[in-house]
Structure 1
């Protein structure tokens, strides 16, 4: 379950962010999770609960925003949502595609008390 290691990274960032401020409690954590991370929201939720136990994040709400895969054709520069495993430009049918969204795991925001 790679969601545990992903959440470990998220908690490192949370720890670094919170160390700069006097925070009593985290109420909400919002993540942006790209579809290509293959992270399952339920598994991320379980990992979040495990990591948050006994911390200022204990009891916080986890909000996960899924980010669809978006590509840009390097030939014609068309941007498009990628809906299958075949990364082909719908404009020129080239397969020289750059993924510009959908691989990220970002800590979008923290709501704190």
Structure 2
């Protein structure tokens, strides 16, 4: 389950961020998770609960926002949603596609008290 290692990285960022502030409790963590990470929201929730035990994050709500995969064609400059694993431009058929969204794992916000 690679969600545990992903959440380990998330908690490193959370801990680094919280060390700069006086925080009693984290109430909510909002993540943006790209479709290409192949991270399952339920598995992320389980990993979050495991990492948050005995920390200021224990009991916090985890919100996972899925981010769709967007491609950009270097030939015709068309930007489009990629719904399958066929990375061809739907406009001109060019196979040289740049993924511009959908690989991210970002902490969008932390709600604290």
Specify the TM-score bucket, using the shorter chain as the normaliser: over 0.9
Distance 2:8 2:74 in 1: 34
Match of 2:85 in 1: 85
Distance 1:85 1:22 in 2: 45
SS for the counterpart of 2:59 is coil
Gaps of at least 5 residues in structure 2 are none
Distance 1:102 1:37 in 2: 8
Tell me whether 1:47 sits opposite 2:54 in the alignment.
no
Q: 1:91 Cα deviation (Å)?
A: 1.1
Distance 2:81 2:43 in 1: 25
For the aligned residue pairs, the C-alpha RMSD in angstroms reads: 0.4
Q: TM-score, normalised by structure 1?
A: 0.99
Q: TM-score, normalised by structure 2?
A: 0.99
Gaps of at least 5 residues in structure 1 are none
Q: 1:78 Cα deviation (Å)?
A: 0.4
Q: 1:52 Cα deviation (Å)?
A: 0.2
SS for the counterpart of 1:43 is helix
